[in-house]
Amino acid sequence: MASFIADHSEIHNGRPAGQAVDLRGTSTNWGQATTFSLSGVANTSVATKIVNSATSARLVIATGAGTGTLTITDGGTGGTGATATLKVAAYRKPRWFAGLSRR
């Protein structure tokens, strides 16, 4: 049975330019015709897809204001219907950032 995992367990919301997430598959047969769909979090999309091999791909995932659990599903030619999940969390500035003053 095919499966895959994402190299990140969490990405941040509010990143319209996207964040790179590498996928590693087992018994997958990904190719350029493979599609990856996203569900579970509003205003998320695959901005860029790069398939490196039958078991390796990189997605750049654009995020809006939504948070929650994002499910990635592979489909299309070479897709298996396998899924992986990751969390889309609200971005918080580091504590040290709040202490900086503008000059």
* In the chain, where the domains are located: 3-91
Residue 92 has pLDDT above 60, yes or no: yes
pTM over 0.85: yes
Q: To the nearest 10°, report the CA torsion of 33, 7, 9, 90.
A: -70
Q: Give one word for 95, left, alpha or beta, with left for phi > 0 and alpha for psi -120 to 50.
A: alpha
Tell me which CATH homologous superfamily contains domain 3-91.
Answer: Immunoglobulins (2.60.40.10)
Joined tokens for residue 37: 């769909």
Determine how many CB atoms are found less than 10 A away from the CB of residue 49.
Answer: 15
What residue ranges in 1-103 does DSSP mark as E strands? 3-6, 10-12, 19-26, 34-39, 44-53, 56-63, 68-76, 83-89
pLDDT tens for 39-63 read 999 999 999 999 999 999 999 999 9
What pLDDT band is residue 94 in, cutting at 50, 70 and 90?
low
Retrieve residue 63's tokens. 């995020």
* Cα–Cα distance for residue pair 38/64, rounded to 1 Å: 13
pLDDT range class, residue 79, cuts 50, 70, 90: confident
